[in-house]
A and B are shown apart, each in its own frame.
Chain A
Amino acid sequence: MLKKAHSLLLLSVALLLFVLSACGDADSDSNEDSNGGSNEGETSGVDGDKEAVTIDFMHLWPAGVSAGQNKIVNEIIEQFEAENPHVTVVQEVLENEQYKTKLQVVSSSNQLPDVGMTWAAGFLEPYVKGNLFAPLDGLLENGFGDTFVSGTLEAYAMDDQTYALPLELNIAPIYYNKAIFADHGLDVPETYDEFLNVVETLVDNGVAPIALGNRDRWTGSLWYMYLADRIGGSEALNTAIDRSGTFENPKLIEAASETQNLVNMDAFVRGFNGLSNEEAKAEFLNGSAAMYLMGSWELPNFTTNEEIPQEFRENVGFFKFPTIEGGDGNIDSWVGGPGVGLFVAENSDVKEEAMEFVKFFVEKWGEQSVTGAGVIPGTAVDTSTLDLPQLYIDVLNELANASNITLFADVQMSAGVAETHLNMIQSLFGNEVTPEEFAQTHEEALSLEE
């Protein structure tokens, strides 16, 4: 027994020593690194006539799953470092949810990375109000601002100042499986009645019409938004959110009840309220559901993604959400908008370099993102010079012809109201609230913010 105790003691001592040595080691390492890790910027060493600086860049495009994006990011950074030898760009990559949590945590101590990714409107607002993001209007001079698709910059603006530059722009068409449509003699619907007919035919033949993963809730919001747009016109929802209108607008209530009508017709896959978007997408990709309303970020899956059978990819088409008879909507009005954009931290010690980097990045990104990563950038794309799959060209043309793009409702709203909206969407789809209650709850949440 004593022998055992002895060895245990020895073991723990040995391990503690290891701890101490490892920590000491780490300590010396992190001294150089902590300069990069925080916002202080490096002041060590002189390179040429400029002091060496480090830009911290936090983003959410890991090499593993976003290989295309990641490769472009690294190339741009290399080019930037080559042109600015005194600058080193250090990346930190996190996945979506961890990224958002970390952004908030580091903000609380005013420790934002020099450059990072943000979402538009409602997400951006508290950071701007907290004076954490630097205005980027200076960058937009000399014509650079004109290279962006009109309306995209506004999504990142508050009080006439722009706080981030968009890297992505998406619209949400309804993708459909041509083979399933052909099997049942269906044509692409141009009016809502034809669309309902498609749904009915598919249900009668035992095919799930629409893949929807409403556990994520913004997915169901897309359907409601389109119905609101086609019934009430593109301003109905926007004005309800910015308080110049109301959710109790009869047209919006009609949109909510039409949503429930679709649910009651069994238009959506079984158990949609418990499915994630990933699971719903799988049902569309394996041909068990005929339609899927989703952002144009899914295009790689229908064109270049080798993992998905070619036969399926060739069978995917898209159509615009059909117009509703008697409604005020325009078929060229879309739900969509810019996704992530780049911000510069207001208290960055290397603000000048960070600004330059952001401008450089957005320019280079715009040149390569569609071909290299399948991402439609916020800057205008010239389709005639690029070799792209037809589906991309079609979507880009639709984008060019769009009469209006309504920003995703949960992005437009402040975080608190967005949460109410998303919960209400899930309840609406679950038939747990009436369209009137749906409208009323939105009104209550919005009026609290005023």
Chain B
Amino acid sequence: MEKATETQTTAMLPKQKRQVARKPVLTRIASGILYLALLILAVVQILPLIWLFLFSLKNNQEVFNLAPLSLPAEPKWENYVKVWTEGNISMYFFNSVWITAVSVILTVLIASFVTFAITRMKWKLSKLVLGLFMVAMMIPVHSTLIPLFSFFTSIHLMNHPLAIILTYTAFNLPITMMILLGFYYTLPREIEEAAIMDGCSIHRLFFRIILPITTPVLATTAIINMIYNWNEYVFVNTFISSDKYKTLTVGINNFIGQYSIDWGAIGATLMISILPILFAFFVLSNRIVEGITSGSVKG
């Protein structure tokens, strides 16, 4: 912490002209060190992706025998061919995209409603309801499998995409709300006071003012939800039987055998499945920054 904040201090120095004038050499060295540290960290963080890519080009022998970051003698592009041609990966892909998108939007929207009602509106049971949501975060996932299975069976939602969409939404609601809460508490009350004075309805206030100024945190929770849903496999495997509703994570099943595992193909599956989410992440991630421009309006 100490060290990091120190470097942070120096990071901001060049912006302050007076101080730059006072001790230019030191600042430049410090800022150099900071950049070096940031760069090293960046390399460390990007390596896993490169590793995964190289991993996906190897066969089992090479996976175990070669150094993680070495290139195989002949890249096994056939791993990708295998993944694409065997099994229904394109269908899984489509399912992953729409199921994730729907769940993320549902979760973020519903969570925003509740958080708004809890933090901005006045009612007796608000704390109790908030408590209910927080407790819901604490149950281990595997405890819920059998109860949920019998519940979905009894309402004939088993093997139906709605079963996983609703499950994802319900299980991600608490954490999404928790993150939203922290932000809603920091919103100045004056905004809605002014809006209500102007005769703005609550719906209008929520959709036109609150949602836009919380864009950064909405983008944040959307990213987090997206990653969770995209990589989830326990619920899909349990609640979905037909191939036509399965998602990408299930594609890995295809390469785990009774006594052997095709690692290269698993790598290729993982690589294919990370690309769309990487793209979505970069897009959403920009919204966090864009948020400030609209956020700063509130002053």
Contact = CB atoms under 8 A, between A and B. Distances in A.
A64 B207 contact: no
* Size category of the binding interface on chain B: 35 or more
B72 interface: no
Interface string B98-109: 100110011001
A56 B241 CA distance: 10
Contact of A279 (B64, B150, B156): B64
Interface stretch (A103-111, A124-132, A266-274): A103-111
Contacts of B60: 282, 307
A109 B153 contact: yes
Contacts of A278: 64, 260-261
A15 B234 CA distance: 26
B120 interface: no
Interface of A is mostly: helix
Given A1-B297, A34-B156, A102-B237, A63 B102 contact: no
A254 B168 CA distance: 53
Which of B63, B255, B258 lies at the interface centre, i.e. has the most chain A CB atoms within 10 A of its CB? B258
B271 to A, nearest CB: 15
Given A19-B102, A106-B149, A93 B253 contact: yes
B208 A108 contact: no
A37 B242 contact: yes
Contact of B161 (A26, A56, A65, A340): A26
B109 A37 contact: no
A279 B261 CA distance: 11
Contacts of A30: 159-160, 242, 245
B85 to A, nearest CB: 10
A36 B64 CA distance: 41
Interface in B250-277: 252-262, 265
Contact of A65 (B215, B245, B261): B261
A106 B149 CA distance: 7
A382 interface: no
A37 to B, nearest CB: 4
Interface string A249-288: 0000000000000000000000000000011001101100
Interface string A4-19: 1100110010011011
Contacts of A286: 61, 64-65
A23 interface: yes
A84 interface: no
B238 interface: yes
Nearest to A8: B211
A18 B212 contact: no
B68 interface: no
Nearest to B269: A64
Interface of B: 59-61, 63-65, 82-83, 86-87, 98, 101-102, 105-106, 109, 145-146, 149-150, 153, 156, 158-162, 165, 207-209, 211-212, 215, 233-234, 237-238, 241-242, 244-245, 252-262, 265, 294, 297
Interface of A: 1-2, 4-5, 8-9, 12, 15-16, 18-19, 22-23, 26-27, 29-30, 33-34, 36-38, 56, 60-66, 90, 92-96, 98, 101-102, 104-106, 108-109, 111, 278-279, 282-283, 285-286, 295, 297-298, 301, 307-309, 339-340
Given A2-B212, A64-B83, 6 more contacts: A34-B156, A62-B253, A66-B257, A105-B146, A108-B149, A282-B63
